[in-house]
Amino acid sequence: MTIRSRLPALLCACALGALAPFSAQAAPDKALEARFDALIDPALMGSWLKTMSAQPIHVGAPHNKANAEMTLAQFKSWGWDAKMEVFQVLYPTPLEVKLELVTGPGAPFKATLSEPPIPGDDTSTRIKDELPAYVAFQGDGDVTAPLVYVNYGMPADYDALERLGISVKGKIAIARYGAGWRGLKPKLAQEHGAVGAIIYSDPRDDGYSTDDVYPRGAARPPGGFQRGSVADMTTFPGDPTTPGYGSTKDAKRVSRQDAETILKIPTLPISYGDAQVLLKALTGPVAPAAWRGGLPITYHVGGGDDAKVHLKVLSDWSLKPAWNVIATLKGRERPDEWVMRGNHRDGWVFGASDPLSGHVAMMNEAKALGALAKAGWKPKRTIVYTSWDAEEPMLLGSTEWAETHAAELKKKAVIYINSDSNGRGFLGVGGSHAYQHFVNQVSADVTDPQTGVSVRDRLRAALAVQGVEQPANPRATALGRIAADPSLDLPIDALGSGSDYSSFLQHLGLAAINLGFGGEGESGGVYHSAYDTYEHHSRFVDPGHAYAGALAKVAGRMVMRLADAETPQQRYGDFAATVAGYLTEVKALADNRRDEAMARTRLLAAGAYRLADDPTVSRGDPPPLAPSPKLDFAAMDAGLARLEVAAASFDMALASKGANLTPAQKSRLDAAILPLEQRLLREKGLPFRPWYKNMIYAPGRFTGYGAKTLPGIREAIEERRFDDATTYIALTALAITDYATGLDAATAVINGG
Amino acid sequence: MTIRSRLPALLCACALGALAPFSAQAAPDKALEARFDALIDPALMGSWLKTMSAQPIHVGAPHNKANAEMTLAQFKSWGWDAKMEVFQVLYPTPLEVKLELVTGPGAPFKATLSEPPIPGDDTSTRIKDELPAYVAFQGDGDVTAPLVYVNYGMPADYDALERLGISVKGKIAIARYGAGWRGLKPKLAQEHGAVGAIIYSDPRDDGYSTDDVYPRGAARPPGGFQRGSVADMTTFPGDPTTPGYGSTKDAKRVSRQDAETILKIPTLPISYGDAQVLLKALTGPVAPAAWRGGLPITYHVGGGDDAKVHLKVLSDWSLKPAWNVIATLKGRERPDEWVMRGNHRDGWVFGASDPLSGHVAMMNEAKALGALAKAGWKPKRTIVYTSWDAEEPMLLGSTEWAETHAAELKKKAVIYINSDSNGRGFLGVGGSHAYQHFVNQVSADVTDPQTGVSVRDRLRAALAVQGVEQPANPRATALGRIAADPSLDLPIDALGSGSDYSSFLQHLGLAAINLGFGGEGESGGVYHSAYDTYEHHSRFVDPGHAYAGALAKVAGRMVMRLADAETPQQRYGDFAATVAGYLTEVKALADNRRDEAMARTRLLAAGAYRLADDPTVSRGDPPPLAPSPKLDFAAMDAGLARLEVAAASFDMALASKGANLTPAQKSRLDAAILPLEQRLLREKGLPFRPWYKNMIYAPGRFTGYGAKTLPGIREAIEERRFDDATTYIALTALAITDYATGLDAATAVINGG
């Protein structure tokens, strides 16, 4: 369910300025990789894509099952040891959806809630058994209440509403997509007392304001809407009724009423064609400038009795099967070290871009690896390819599988490499920062289909130009400076959530990488709509499936190099430098929060807010902020120093002695390194969400997909939970110190221990 | 013709951090000012406003003449020595205007070019003899050509077009209002080879995206358009056929063909109702993200033969009378020292906000001053009030009068204080920075009608809040820091152009102040349209005319205090500090231009632009930038140091000895100070525009109304004319050194010289 921004997807952020020194790793097998590349076939991927996206492929749909069976059969035919692993997951489907404007100008008006076929798009003419407008794990209900526009429906929007004197209590909130993850919108509306929620796609964000609408262009047409899941991912993903354990056939289940991640209020997504009628009916204050979208109306906040809507959602809450396909190519030397690769297979309707564009690349990799294996190549380690089902409703397939096999994975999994939607443009990679240099090496060896330079050099050029063209954007200029120096690695992103790596990285503490191309081919306008079709994808997102080829070549190289590596590919100095960058950020954040509280206090005392306000618009004073203590970061400073020394020692030892290790040492080194990332976990997890255990990487509680790094510390400061901040400074320091200890043990192996 | 932004109009920018030390000036006569305040009558101003805006008041219109005669009669009745001074100015009026879409989807379509009455607005039902869609001093013509969308039509937009491979040569350019002054749009289109130009008001900028449209709210309705002048103000204002001298009855005139400031291509303004049809017909590349407005369409650049328009404009180029009213209240001690105050009286249609809202405040001041004079108060210096005609077509009334009386003004004028449109909100002041402290003193003594604190304290609160709420905006945070410290004066703005102060400040070198309230009452949506009516103004811009009262109280105080001052009210340290700030800015600008050229060279050599570009959108490399030399600012550093010493010496001398000066010394001091600002002039003026002689303040060549400070240096660096930059470093240094010398002479008078 990945969605990509319009800007070049960046290898980015975080550890700005990673040096690329010593590199004693054995050279990759270039001849093998050339043979692999020759087996990547865009036309073949295109034909799979067409077949697999010919009918709706949501969870439980017949064509989804057919695709699972085809994938299984193909893997087997390519020589893999493949099997179907089925889970019984709670997956609600709509029995009745209804949305009407019952009072106000334009009433009565009945929202469409289904997507009309698009001329020239054959697939869309087969819209029939698709899911209507629906978001999974909303709360069912039948309510009639005044409508309030809440902008993106994020916390700051509710602060603004409060200053306008508008409450959502007992009302139905309408939010636009964007700014934060979908599921936060009804969740926050519910927490503020709303009895229902509507989410619409504003044309400013992915409709006619961004591009010609489909079929003339790639953007969202007036009748298109975005389905999705609103299960409370920020608490935990997976089946809401089996928290932390697998949804196997006989699993004990929490009742729907007690399931923590199922919302309590009915929620529907709608098109901007429908939203325009509802929003036009609103009165009350004119919406703040930043709240206005691209509809040809004046946006009002509403909230009065003059515009009421009737919202009804009734769902079938039965269990449905999730068909995961798990395929193995057994390693010749270290069968119990698994290099894992996955992509989900289920979609919301036809799912051509999301997820099949990534899935077919993964299939081609598997076919090529199978052919190489048949021709005699045997990987040193075991390779595991996974075709996940039920990702869309909330990472169900991968999460239930990972929870079921947690113990084995913690023993055996070297890394999990994920992809999802893919399109034309620039390589974007996020993941565990010890792999940053490895990612740079791989991406320097794959050619960009449009320009003929390496995908890394193309991204380097884009970042360098962006840095110069956006002088007022500090992040862009910092990245631009790195990109302009070819001796520096490009940074990789931290991972939040939104695709199947989440359980592996954040729950089990395994190393993970997520990758994909994008930024030029645009699927955002049809994201989770019935128009994400083969026709749309082939015309607008990845013509000729050239970037499916590029994805297969990057991901395939990662798999082969990690499966065959003589010694670890990680460089821990990059991880330490990244953590150092995060620590600098959270210290600045703490200072900023303190300054903010002092400024608020001073301005309130001076009556400045009331004097600055337009008295004809009823804004009150903002609430006072409790004084922010000066936080003591000494434990983190010490932990980081410890980590930096351990990382430098390891990297130097490996660089100088890695080539001369005995087979026994190599084996012991692998054994020491494999569980290392798990030391970043705290068993009791993060505040409010024990499922998320990684002290370095988490999805943000109030961003959703967007990552929060050093989350225990950072979110506590952001939310002014200063006691938690102090607690998590200690806990995070403990984790990185433990990590350093583990790293020292690995260094000792290299040094002859 | 002032237009105000939606944000609080700021006393702002420039000299951040002016200290407010010693202040030995004699206290103002608070009793007199209280009597003055009692004579300010919002209801009376409202009734004048209603009468004067009852019919169209453009140059030559019968109601404009009636208003001139009424103003003259009133001044006389209030005891002023008043007269009418008439100039014969070139003022073209439309004989025929026509705009049609002749090919493309939607064709044939004929643009409306007139504004329909608005239900509930009585004035608008009298639309009859108003000017249709028209911009004065466009070039007349009859052309049919492809249409190209050029965004705001500013230089950077043409750079972007070039990289898209789109030329405007032989085509008709359509630009939206905003980002730079109106007249630059057809001028730049013409320079790029366009044969015609259209300017429209995008709803994103002042239509439904900003507020409910009139009559529900204040914003521009779909049929409203913005008239205006497109005479090349940045070269010189005033009558294009009498450059630099008065348009008296017998003045020798340049022919229309040779008049440098009249455009050569036909140009029309249109409504967004009309523009939507034209823009929707365009094909070609989708417009860059920053180019897209609020219409419910995908913006394309166009330029192809598939969307052609026919544009015809034919004008009557005869001379029309401009009726200036000049009123004098003779000074008792120093009749040859003039404190001047003015506001224009002509509008584009009914002109309620622009300009009558400021004009009625000025009238009430004059009535009150007249009453005080009748009751025995006699100002020490002469007070001159001016009601300008023909400001809208290009400051014709004030410029021709100033050019005609240049010699006398240079001898006698102490200062010119200007206002224009006025509305609810915050005080905004720009002007000569030696008056910054004076402005702060006055604005601390006038009460804000809505909050009851002083207008300065209200602005201080707004700036302090804005500084905290916009942490990423360096200007806002710098202003916020100043505002948060009550011991500091709030900075005033530098003046560019757009109202009648221009000749006085920039051509004659007189001190000037421009002031007005705004930021809450909104006239922007009806700016220069037929909907700028009494009804609109009274409902949305200044209900109860309360801020007309505030304006009269601020401006009246300025006039009274300056007319009666025992010793100079200026504080030259503020001016020196402001210049120091500007010098820091232009040095940083020079560094920035050098960095930019180096970065461009490096990225071009690496082929980075082509690699970063989407190859399906034809962008070429940007042009290389010539290497930027390291500029030598030593002369400016020395000149500034000289100025700082002179300013400090004067301020200290005045503070310590000002109270003890003899009458003869005071008189000699006035005589030494009065011509001081003229030392900032360079007789040969600025590059490309000798009419603009002030080396500190000018309207920007590519901003229009927006000021450029140290313009000879700053614009040369911006435009990469590095030889000019070196020349103007020397010339500007000469001017401030000469100014310091003049200041030393004044200091000598105080010190007993």
C-alpha distances in angstroms, A649 versus A67, A489, A679, A744? 49, 20, 18, 8
Q: What confidence score (pLDDT) does residue A1 get?
A: 56
Provide the token pair at B398. Answer: 């004030």
pLDDT band at A25 (very low <50, low <70, confident <90, very high): low
C-alpha torsion sign, points A337, A339, A345, A348: positive
- Which residue bears the tokens 């009556």? A607
Provide the token pair at B446. Answer: 């006038």
C-alpha torsion sign, points A293, A302, A185, A89: negative
3-state secondary structure of B532: coil
First to last CA, chain B: 46
pLDDT average, residue stretch A731-745: 98
Q: pLDDT tens digits, residue range B575-602? A: 999 999 999 999 999 999 999 999 999 9
Q: pLDDT tens digits, residue range B198-228? A: 999 999 999 999 999 999 999 999 999 999 9
Provide the token pair at B623. Answer: 């042009």
DSSP string of A530-587, one letter each residue: TT--HHHIIIII-GGGHHHHHHHHHHHHHHHHHHH-SS----HHHHHHHHHHHHHHHH
Using a CB–CB cutoff of 8 Å, tell me whether A297 touches chain B.
yes
pLDDT band at B618 (very low <50, low <70, confident <90, very high): low
Using a CB–CB cutoff of 8 Å, tell me whether A546 touches chain B.
no
Helical (H) or strand (E) element with B219: none
pLDDT band at A23 (very low <50, low <70, confident <90, very high): very low
The helix/strand count (H/E) of chain A reads as 22, 18
pLDDT band at B366 (very low <50, low <70, confident <90, very high): very high
Contact B608 A450 (CB under 8 A): no
Task: Give, in degrees to the nearest 5, the angle at Cα A557 between A556 and A558.
Answer: 90
Q: pLDDT tens digits, residue range B432-457? A: 999 999 999 999 999 999 999 999 99
Provide the token pair at A421. Answer: 């939607």
Q: pLDDT tens digits, residue range B387-416? A: 999 999 999 999 999 999 999 999 999 999
Give the residue numbers of A marked as catalytic.
391
Provide the token pair at B370. Answer: 């007249």
Could you tell me which residues come within 8 angstroms of residue A356 by beta carbon, excluding any fewer than 6 positions away? A48, A49, A52, A53, A57, A345, A347
Residues within 8 A of A (CB atoms), B 514-533 only? 520
pLDDT average, residue stretch A161-180: 96
**pLDDT, mean over chain B:** 95
For helices A546-564 and A436-443, the axis angle rounded to 10 degrees is: 130
pLDDT average, residue stretch B600-626: 91
Give pTM, 2 decimals: 0.94
Q: What confidence score (pLDDT) does residue B315 get?
A: 98
Whether the per-residue pLDDT at B15 is higher than 70: the answer is no
Q: What confidence score (pLDDT) does residue A522 get?
A: 80
Q: pLDDT tens digits, residue range B683-693? A: 999 999 999 99
Residues within 8 A of A (CB atoms), B 582-611 only? 592, 596, 599-600, 602-603, 606-611
pLDDT average, residue stretch B75-91: 98
Q: What confidence score (pLDDT) does residue B1 get?
A: 56
Q: Which residue, among A296, A350, A299, A316, has the nearest Cα to A129 in the 3D structure?
A: A350
Q: How far apart are CA B159 and CA A413, in angstroms?
A: 53
Whether the per-residue pLDDT at A226 is higher than 90: the answer is yes
Whether the per-residue pLDDT at A701 is higher than 60: the answer is yes
CB B174 within 8 A of CB B278: yes
Q: What confidence score (pLDDT) does residue A24 get?
A: 46
CB B706 within 8 A of CB B502: no
List of chain A residues whose C-beta atoms are within 8 Å of the C-beta of residue B443:
none
CB A686 within 8 A of CB A711: yes
CB A40 within 8 A of CB A368: yes
Whether the per-residue pLDDT at B548 is higher than 80: the answer is yes
pLDDT band at B18 (very low <50, low <70, confident <90, very high): very low
Pick A15 or B191 by higher pLDDT: B191
Q: What confidence score (pLDDT) does residue B127 get?
A: 80
Q: How far apart are CA A488 and CA A20, in angstroms?
A: 6
Q: How far apart are CA A749 and CA B211, in angstroms?
A: 69
pLDDT average, residue stretch B564-572: 97
Q: How far apart are CA B288 and CA B283, in angstroms?
A: 13
Helical (H) or strand (E) element with B425: strand B425-431
C-alpha distances in angstroms, B424 versus B362, B427, B523, B549? 17, 9, 10, 11
CB A492 within 8 A of CB A11: yes
How many other β-carbons are positioned within 10 Å of the β-carbon of residue B411? 13
Contact A461 B213 (CB under 8 A): no
Nearest to A603 among B211, B219, B468 (CB): B468
Provide the token pair at B397. Answer: 């009334």
Residues within 8 A of A (CB atoms), B 166-205 only? 203
Using a CB–CB cutoff of 8 Å, tell me whether B457 touches chain A.
yes
Q: How far apart are CA A388 and CA B750, in angstroms?
A: 89
> What residue of B is the nearest CA neighbor of A470?
B596
Provide the token pair at B393. Answer: 């077509």
CB B672 within 8 A of CB B746: yes
Whether the per-residue pLDDT at B312 is higher than 50: the answer is yes
Whether the per-residue pLDDT at A656 is higher than 70: the answer is yes
Q: What confidence score (pLDDT) does residue B494 get?
A: 98
CB A576 within 8 A of CB A739: no
Whether the per-residue pLDDT at B753 is higher than 70: the answer is no
CB B709 within 8 A of CB B690: no
pLDDT band at A13 (very low <50, low <70, confident <90, very high): very low
Total beta-carbon pairs less than 8 A apart between chain A and chain B? 116
Q: What confidence score (pLDDT) does residue A423 get?
A: 97
Using a CB–CB cutoff of 8 Å, tell me whether A484 touches chain B.
yes
Q: What confidence score (pLDDT) does residue A753 get?
A: 62
**Domains in chain A with CATH codes:** 30-90+320-561 (3.40.630.10), 93-316 (3.50.30.30), 573-750 (1.20.930.40)
Q: What confidence score (pLDDT) does residue A15 get?
A: 38
Whether the per-residue pLDDT at B14 is higher than 70: the answer is no
Nearest to B465 among A295, A296, A603 (CB): A603
Using a CB–CB cutoff of 8 Å, tell me whether B66 touches chain A.
no
> What residue of A is the nearest CA neighbor of B611?
A458
Q: What confidence score (pLDDT) does residue A357 get?
A: 98
Q: What is the DSSP letter of B504?
A: I
pLDDT average, residue stretch A388-406: 98
Strands B334-344 and B381-388, by their bridges, are: parallel
Whether the per-residue pLDDT at A5 is higher than 50: the answer is no
CB B355 within 8 A of CB B344: yes
Q: Chain-centre distance of CA A678, in angstroms?
A: 21
Whether the per-residue pLDDT at A10 is higher than 70: the answer is no
Give the residue numbers of B marked as catalytic.
391
Provide the token pair at B196. Answer: 């015609």
Q: pLDDT tens digits, residue range B258-309? A: 999 999 999 999 999 999 999 999 999 999 999 999 999 999 999 999 999 9
Whether the per-residue pLDDT at B25 is higher than 80: the answer is no
Do you know the residue count of chain B? 753
Q: pLDDT tens digits, residue range B697-728? A: 999 999 988 999 999 999 999 999 999 999 99
Q: pLDDT tens digits, residue range A702-711? A: 998 899 999 9
List of chain A residues whose C-beta atoms are within 8 Å of the C-beta of residue B295:
296
Side by side, the strands of the sheet bearing B512-519 are B81-90, B319-329, B381-388, B334-344, B413-418, B512-519, B425-431
Whether the per-residue pLDDT at B626 is higher than 60: the answer is yes
pLDDT band at A26 (very low <50, low <70, confident <90, very high): low
